A and B are shown apart, each in its own frame.
Chain A
């Protein structure tokens, strides 16, 4: 192989199409940086955090319901405890999105929201996963208990370690999959497109 010739060819290869990619001006980059700064600042008070707490808390209302009624009496109507928090949470997020991104259409929000479906499924799987793990332990402990004391309150205590595991798993998932980075990339591409148009 003639490496010298390859080097020459290689260096010519990028030059012919340089017109395809416009060089971002400093002004554009400043706008991007401002956008990024804003985004990172917003991350600290991200509505997602509040949203997750509200959603998680409301979904957890299913727990006393399960204890009181037992699995046999649970029907589809009770899914409102899951759907309602999701709907309320999404509504809050949509309003906040519109407030902070006045120029963007809600379609952009919906598009990014769809990508979060996996995330929501993950939350629910872990929530009910924690319950599914804690419940048999509770039932076994209750049947083995000699005293007639009720274990209903203790079930909630039993759930705490599993909830903590759940929280760690969510934290891992967010970090491992760079969840926020996708949102950031999406935001950046949108910003760049807008600046270039």
Chain B
């Protein structure tokens, strides 16, 4: 599989990740480019015994977390050309998000703690507990327990 094919088949996944870790559309595009670059650079380190998607997602996630930590350190004045109030642009297709639940979910995930964000993102991408464990470094049992807690937390938010 070539780099372009690999990125193309995982593009949706990376975009969803960018939406969580970057606020404005411009930042999301920047992060997407950065992830693409990091994946391209890391491809030679890929070991055949690992699953390509897991490998790719781990790079994408690490790049996103690093990006977010850099954004936090960034003094506001260095970003004068951007809006002072971060605006979350998700642009989810209306046909999918009929009841606004998905839009709500994006916002709710942003309010979670970083590790919780990571876990629920991986869960929503339908990754197995083993894959989540491999990406996050948490034990498989721990992943299950934590995910249940996060799901409960989000369900409670919906009720409110």
User: Which residues of A line the B interface, CB within 8 A?
Assistant: 1, 3, 6-7, 9-18, 21, 23-26, 29, 32-33, 115, 118, 176-178, 181-182, 185, 188-189, 192
Give Cα A16 to B19, complex, Å: 14
- Which listed residue (A13, A176, A177) contacts B96, Cβ 8 A? A13
A-B contact count (CB 8 A): 100
Q: Which of B19, B78, B102 contacts A115 (CB 8 A)?
A: B78
Are A17 and B73 neighbours in the complex by a CB distance under 8 Å? no
Tell me how far the C-beta of B157 lies from the nearest C-beta in chain A, rounded to whole angstroms: 10
B77 / chain A contacts, CB cutoff of 8 Å = 115, 118
Also in contact, A26 and B3, with CB within 8 A (given A13-B97, A177-B75): yes
For the complex, would chain A's binding face be called helix, strand, loop or mixed by DSSP majority? Answer: helix
Chain B contacts for A10, CB-based, 8 A: 16, 102, 105, 124-125
A-contact bits for B139-159, CB 8 A (1 contact / 0 none): 000000000000100110010
CB of B13 within 8 A of chain A? yes
B44 at the interface (CB under 8 A from A): no
Are the C-beta atoms of A18 and B15 separated by less than 8 Å? Answer: yes
**Interface membership of chain B positions 101-124, coded 1 if the CB is closer than 8 angstroms to chain A and 0 otherwise:** 110010000000000000000011
Residues of A within 8 A of B92 (CB): 13, 16
In the bound complex, how far is the Cα of B109 from the Cα of A125, in angstroms? 42
Count B-side interface residues using an 8 Å CB cutoff.
43
Between A and B, 24 residue pairs with Cβ closer than 8 Å are A1-B155, A6-B101, A7-B126, A9-B96, A11-B12, A13-B16, A13-B93, A13-B96, A13-B97, A14-B19, A18-B11, A18-B12, A18-B15, A21-B32, A23-B36, A26-B3, A26-B40, A29-B3, A29-B36, A29-B41, A33-B41, A176-B73, A177-B74, A177-B75
Contact surface of B with A, Cβ cutoff 8 Å: 3-4, 7-8, 11-16, 19, 29-30, 32-33, 36-37, 40-41, 70, 73-75, 77-78, 80, 90-93, 96-97, 101-102, 105, 123-126, 151, 154-155, 158
User: In the complex, A23→B74 CA distance in Å?
Assistant: 27
A184 to B143, CA, bound (A): 37
New A-B pairs, 10, CB < 8 Å, besides A178-B70, A188-B33: A1-B154, A1-B158, A6-B124, A9-B96, A11-B16, A21-B32, A23-B4, A24-B37, A29-B40, A32-B37
